[in-house]
């Protein structure tokens, strides 16, 4: 038996030695390459484009806009943060008559004076993958000094536990602080950060001054594990871009999270 094994080894030792030798050379080359470059193989350009969306994809911009002032600001914020965008749309649309706060018989006056009528049903109050978002930016018009009650169903029927929430508002002149206090009372499980009120003519630079602060807070929490080569290779250091996108980043269609 031993003789047979010895014969076989003698017969195949040259090819065997060559194969083992080749493998060793390849492994050594790989180890040296990693040592000197500090990285694994670079992604292709298409992969690099994907990586730009990795870090911020856990951010969702949610907004309601009755007359269209809050919408473009929400779109700009989503573009600057490379976040997903979700519009809260009432099942029963508000006409301009409905929104006439000077008319004591208008819909908003009626809803303001009757709390049971302030429960506005939304077409969809539940963004896809909501549990996977770490940061929620929420925008609304100020109504009667606080956030429009249209966003209530969204606030009350989603779980904000552990999420960072950044409110922003548009208004004729009122500040945002009272609405932030009211948000904190409703969203006790999340961490509602200081808010920002924007004028209707806010520039993308005005908005970027705020989103840059959010962006800085996002990075440590959202960077993948240190050995995730796609992000290490992405050079992902760009601050929010000050140029608004002509089209929304996405509307009510949260893309799959990476
Ligand atoms: C019912 C109602 C109440 C409002 N209350 C206030 C208010 O208390 N303070 C204020 O500065 N603006 C108030 N406004 C003005 C809106 O906040 C402002 O026009 C906002 O930019 C509208 O945003 P939108 O176009 O996205 O709905 C009110 C508007 C409406 C329709």
Tens digit of each residue's pLDDT (9 = 90 or more) over 3-26: 665 555 556 555 545 454 555 544
Q: Which of 123, 176, 116 is nearest to 147 (CA)?
A: 176
pLDDT at 52 over 90: no
Region 190-217 average pLDDT: 94
**CB atoms < 10 A from the CB of 123, how many?**
12
Q: Residue 63: CB within 6 Å of ligand 1?
A: no
Question: Which of these ranges, 76-90, 134-148, 212-226, has the smallest mean pLDDT?
Answer: 212-226
Annotated domain spans of the chain: 2-38, 46-232
* 3-state class (DSSP) for residue 24: helix
* 3-state class (DSSP) for residue 28: helix
| pLDDT for residue 3 | 62
pTM check: above 0.75: no
| pLDDT for residue 217 | 81
**CB atoms < 10 A from the CB of 64, how many?**
24
Region 119-142 average pLDDT: 96
pLDDT higher for 41 or 80? 80
pLDDT at 156 over 70: yes
Distance, CA of 74 to CA of 192 (rounded, Å): 18
Candidate of 71, 142, 144, 150 to mutate for ligand 1, largest count of ligand atoms within 8 Å of Cβ: 142
The correct answer on CATH 3.40.50.1950 for the domain covering 46-232 is no
Q: Residue 95: CB within 6 Å of ligand 1?
A: no
| pLDDT for residue 218 | 76
Question: Which of these ranges, 32-41, 53-62, 73-82, has the smallest mean pLDDT?
Answer: 32-41
Atom of ligand 1 nearest to the CA of 173: 11
E runs forming strands in the chain: 59-63, 84-87, 135-143, 146-147, 164-170, 191-192, 196-198
Q: How many residues does the chain have?
A: 258
Closest C-alpha residue for ligand 1 atom 17: 171
DSSP 124-187: ----TTGGG-SEEEEEEEEETTEE-GGGHHHHHHS--TT-EEEEEEE-SS--SHHHHHHHHHH-
CA of 145 to the centre of ligand 1 (A): 9
| pLDDT for residue 215 | 87
- Rounded mean pLDDT of the chain? 77
């Amino acid at each position: 038996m031993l003789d047979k094994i010895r014969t076989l080894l003698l017969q195949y030792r040259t090819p065997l030695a060559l194969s083992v030798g080749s493998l060793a050379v390849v492994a050594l080359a790989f180890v040296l390459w990693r040592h000197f470059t500090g990285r694994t193989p670079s992604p292709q350009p298409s992969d690099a484009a994907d990586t730009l969306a990795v870090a911020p994809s856990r951010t969702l911009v949610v907004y309601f806009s009755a007359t269209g002032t809050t919408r473009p600001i929400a779109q700009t914020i989503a573009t600057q943060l490379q976040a997903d965008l979700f519009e809260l749309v009432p099942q029963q649309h508000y006409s301009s008559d409905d929104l006439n706060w000077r008319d004591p018989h208008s819909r908003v006056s009626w809803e303001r004076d009757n709390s049971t009528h302030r429960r506005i049903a939304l077409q969809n109050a539940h963004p896809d993958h909501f549990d996977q978002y770490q940061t929620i930016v929420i925008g609304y018009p100020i109504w009667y000094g606080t956030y429009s009650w249209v966003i209530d169903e969204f606030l009350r029927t989603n779980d904000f536990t552990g999420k960072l929430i950044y409110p922003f508002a548009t208004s004729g002149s009122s500040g945002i602080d009272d609405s932030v206090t009211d948000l904190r009372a409703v969203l006790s499980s999340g961490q509602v950060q200081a808010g920002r009120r924007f004028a209707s003519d806010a520039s993308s630079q005005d908005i970027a001054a705020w989103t840059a602060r959010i962006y800085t807070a996002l990075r440590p929490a959202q960077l993948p594990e240190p050995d995730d080569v796609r992000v290490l290779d992405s050079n992902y250091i760009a601050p929010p871009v000050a140029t608004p996108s002509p089209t929304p980043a996405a509307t009510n269609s949260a893309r799959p999270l990476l």
